[in-house]
Structure 1
């Protein structure tokens, strides 16, 4: 049985006993991964990671724009765009991975239309920088369980923003766990718009662990993604509850054809 999708290890949370992130990358390779991802980059050993990527042939699927700044607060717009440009420049040595953008928090007294318009303005400027550099930006909806006042907690709204910006270098990151926390129906929110999704991440409900440890029907998840037309990688963005060789094997089983 083979995995339906190529799987990417979130080395931010996985292979922790290997040590620094570059060592985790090598450990992920030894465990059978070809793809990896992590979160913020400014506290990470970028040169060592670049060397480990070259040595192992691994590829980074994504990392986060750092520092995180709001796309809806005009007072943070220039800082947000600068963060995108700085992240593009600093991570080019890592093979130009896709860069994840979160929305930031709601602004008191601002209408829904103003939130949306401000987000589009900021994302258009960020996407222009990404287009010039040949980098993909991934807009990620989160959830109100983790972030009570986060603006973007809806897949539908995230896709609306991607459509409104209209850049080939801005797509959605669809996280199955965040979506499930928000009570979304995956097929309903992605139907007809899967072409706007460039990466998918998974974790089981409710505790954000590996597939097969919770309540989600992973056969249904993978069948639905196939039927919708998703053909990219799947990021294993979860906290493992078992040694990573076992965790990876279980994820492969749960996400298999």
Structure 2
């Protein structure tokens, strides 16, 4: 059975953040994910999870100064202390929220620079972070993000992430495969799932090319979700899309899978 998790940073945004947990539960979701939970005390979020019976399955490490243009710190040379402090903060939230998967955003590289040095820094940082995360029972996830939506992002292709994961060789560093980002950058979703299956830690979906409901656009999610099942993936599938209208009005697509 497919397990969908509502991304509360993109769904149910007609409501205040803390009210989205109940809305997700009322819509039939059993799990949720959050991009950045840090505007609210972990204990407050814990109360909402307990009240609704929802599981929090994923959130991101602090990304740096988002308003100033930061999009993660994982691959940025010279910002290791901020990254380490961000991991500590994320692990404290993870303990309270019983969330075992944390996405480490790579960050942006300056235009026209070779990203090899940034990927190397990312690998070194992950090697340093992974033991502390493992001791806390957490898996670190790497997500390639397409260069149309986030120009300059260090990690934009699935193969880059898989190369890092294989080179580091730790069980608690896994791939976060957002099928929308993969479709925009490279396509070939079903074969990608088969290749990436041994390293999958989390999957996300959205319609392409406009990142709205999964039943809109060019991705046939029936065969794609079947490929995930065939590959043995039994984890959560995060619904990280931007509804075309009110969230509830666009949830009919789920009836084919639950």
Give the TM-score normalised by structure 2.
Answer: 0.89
Query: What secondary structure sits across from 2:175 in the alignment?
Result: strand
Measure, in 2, the Cα distance between the counterparts of 1:17 and 1:206: 23
State yes or no: 1:129 paired with 2:126.
no
Match of residue 228, structure 2, among 214, 225, 236 = 225
Q: Could you tell me whether the CA contact under 8 Å between 2:193 and 2:227 is conserved in 1?
A: no
Measure, in 2, the Cα distance between the counterparts of 1:112 and 1:241: 35
Aligned position for 1:240: 243
Measure, in 2, the Cα distance between the counterparts of 1:234 and 1:91: 19
Q: Could you tell me whether the CA contact under 8 Å between 1:204 and 1:216 is conserved in 2?
A: yes
Aligned position for 1:18: 15
The within-5 A match list for 1:111-130 is 111=114, 113-130=116-133
- Report the Cα offset of residue 66 of structure 1: 0.8
Query: What secondary structure sits across from 2:129 in the alignment?
Result: helix
Kindly provide the CA deviation profile for residues 58-111 of structure 1, in whole angstroms up to 9, marking residues without a partner as x: 101111101344322220122212211211113321113411112112257865
Aligned position for 2:67: none
User: CA 1:12/1:116 → structure 2, altered by over 3 Å: closer, same or farther?
Assistant: closer
Match of residue 46, structure 1, among 42, 64, 68 = 42
Q: Could you tell me whether the CA contact under 8 Å between 2:14 and 2:246 is conserved in 1?
A: no
User: CA 1:221/1:66 → structure 2, altered by over 3 Å: closer, same or farther?
Assistant: same
Q: Could you tell me whether the CA contact under 8 Å between 2:138 and 2:172 is conserved in 1?
A: yes
Unaligned runs of 5+ in 2: 65-71
Give the TM-score normalised by structure 1.
Answer: 0.89
Aligned position for 1:196: 199
State yes or no: 1:62 paired with 2:58.
yes
State yes or no: 1:208 paired with 2:205.
no
- Report the Cα offset of residue 168 of structure 1: 1.6
Measure, in 1, the Cα distance between the counterparts of 2:138 and 2:95: 9
Match of residue 36, structure 1, among 32, 37, 49 = 32
- Report the Cα offset of residue 180 of structure 1: 0.6
State yes or no: 1:87 paired with 2:90.
yes
Query: What secondary structure sits across from 1:62 in the alignment?
Result: strand
- Report the Cα offset of residue 202 of structure 1: 0.4
Unaligned runs of 5+ in 1: none
Q: Aligned pairs, how many?
A: 251
Measure, in 1, the Cα distance between the counterparts of 2:100 and 2:52: 16
